[in-house]
Amino acid sequence: MHEGMIAQNLLAIILQHAEEHNAKPTAARISCGKLYAVNDEALCFAFDALAQGTSCEGMQLQIEHKPLQAHCKSCSETFNVDFAKPKCPNCEKGDFELLPDAPLILEEIEFEELPCNDWQKNKTHQE
Ligand SMILES: [Zn+2]
């Protein structure tokens, strides 16, 4: 399954960041193009299942779907394609080429703040 593979890749990347930050991730924001056809629910479900027992357990995933963009051949305008009205919004012509779909990107990871964490306590004592 498509979403299962994406979830596995995401989890690996997030776990790596979590280790570097020495913190528990609580949420992540990802974005992808419209044609990527990621099913949000399937992806969250696959991620939840894979994250069981790791520091990513219980994390929230936010998925933003980016619109498909096109480049107008008449006036060189780059615009978001509205499939109900496939025209350049600048010159109203229909002569455009579609730009490659946006890839799946991990935009942001949020980490839990741990004020009572041992290493932070030690740090305070030193100050
Ligand atoms: Zn145009």
**Sequential pLDDT tens for the chain (127 residues):** 589 999 999 999 999 999 998 999 999 999 999 877 789 999 999 999 999 999 999 999 999 999 999 999 999 999 999 889 899 999 999 999 999 988 899 999 999 976 555 554 445 444 4
CA 91–ligand 1 middle distance (angstroms): 4
At a CB cut-off of 8 Å and minimum separation 6, what does 20 contact? Answer: none
* Chain position carrying tokens 């080429």: 97
State the Cα–Cα distance between residues 104 and 61, nearest whole angstrom. Answer: 13
Q: What is the CA(84)–ligand 1 centre distance, in A?
A: 17
Domains and CATH numbers, the chain: 2-67+102-126 (3.30.2320.50)
From the list 114, 1, 112, 105, the residue with the least C-alpha distance to 50 is 1
| Residue 31, beta-bridge partner list | 64, 105
Measured in Å, residue 100 CA sits from the centre of ligand 1 at 18
Q: Which residues are paired to 64 by β-bridges?
A: 31
